[in-house]
Structure 1
């Protein structure tokens, strides 16, 4: 996703909610609100349409978190992660019936929350890029010319000049292009990307990274630096990197 993932926190213990919000913001997510009550949450979901809802099951008031999710699901297909201090079978089975993406018991570790969000975000991306959800799958493949790449960005193809690309990083079956002022996520493996890119500009220096040779700022023993980012270099590729740099 090009924009930060929008997350709504529905939690009536404000200290816990504030802590979660801080953690998520630090990880780069966009927390669009902290809401303690069901009706307010439903109103916010209608106006803001978050990408993910973190829902406390034990909300105070007429509706608990599970009932709130049931009402939300009548109009919206938004992934839900439940938070609960009461993980008994009855609550779990009621929650399970609403098909949540994750179920986190309080107190939880920061890493539990981070991984639940990452797995949910990954499933959102898979759904968006699945042919069942997107018939125009041809647009997902970048169109590569000698001096530029056309990539899909916000439902249209945009031109990215090769000279402006800093490096490309693997993210499972995707790869993310880091250019001078933007990032682009492509539905393509790094191996496929490596085969298509003009090799006079680019070199795969690690199983997870392809770099633009002209953008390298520093070379260290086990890494290089591009735009203040330290990128690891595999031992087996270090010699090729140095040879290539001599010929530029």
Structure 2
């Protein structure tokens, strides 16, 4: 998950970078004033922003947050040394996903990030309830793995297979176990890219290396994926053939 830090105190921005690294997330930029923050936001498109309210320069963190939200709604966690009501009321106008008072510990930051993502990508449902441990953002899954939320770009998915009541998401040399049925996962994938090859497998067609019509397997990343006879003709028709 990509995090943008907007903080004008170098010592504190270094601390935030260390916290983010310990949580397993990626810092994609650090800005000390508003204009630099806007440029980074436009070019890096972060998943979440940690924003100091009192910044050097002509723009406050609240001003910058308003600009961010007008460009692309993004979870923002405000950070400030001031806990006065006036500052809080001004910050509320930008609908932040959390509001932290300095100093705070990594655990508090981690909980705030998880809650921010929950609020950003869900409405009435809980992210970590007994029915689900995955949230689908616009072009990615957020998979909970222990105490981390791992962003998985859908384009990076090689294939999905079902095992008992779980679906297994295969990405390069890693896999994630989702408490979702194959049907539920399929409904969230682009049908112009993903195709079902077997009653228990869905593959990313752009990742197919070859198709063995004798053994009825599809090879992806050196792995053999079963190709059911009833799915073969549909797959062949959908591929661009020469």
User: Which TM-score applies when normalising by structure 2?
Assistant: 0.57
CA–CA distance in 1 between the matches of 2:119 and 2:91? 19
Task: Tell me by how many angstroms 1:108 deviates.
Answer: 1.1
Q: Counterpart of 1:232? A: none
- 2:90 equivalent among 91, 94, 98: 94
Query: Which runs of 5 or more structure 1 residues have no equivalent in the other structure?
Result: 135-139, 141-151, 170-174, 199-248
Change (3 A) 1:126 1:57: same
CA–CA distance in 1 between the matches of 2:178 and 2:80? 36
Q: Counterpart of 1:71? A: 67
Q: Counterpart of 1:80? A: 76
Tell whether the 8 Å contact from 2:9 to 2:32 is kept in structure 1 after alignment.
Answer: yes
- 2:175 equivalent among 149, 165, 183: 183
- CA-atom RMSD in angstroms: 3.6
CA–CA distance in 1 between the matches of 2:170 and 2:112? 25
Report matched runs for 1:1-248 at 5 Å: 5-126=1-122, 129=136, 154=154, 158-160=158-160, 181-184=173-176, 186=178, 188=180
SS at match of 1:74: helix
CA–CA distance in 2 between the matches of 1:27 and 1:176? 24
Tell whether the 8 Å contact from 1:7 to 1:53 is kept in structure 2 after alignment.
Answer: yes
CA–CA distance in 2 between the matches of 1:156 and 1:56? 33
Q: Counterpart of 1:206? A: none
Task: Tell me by how many angstroms 1:78 deviates.
Answer: 0.9
Count of equivalent residues: 162
Could you report, residue by residue, the CA deviation over 1:13-44 in whole angstroms, capped at 9, with x for unpaired residues? 11111111111111110111111011000000
Query: Which runs of 5 or more structure 2 residues have no equivalent in the other structure?
Result: 124-134, 142-151, 186-199, 201-242
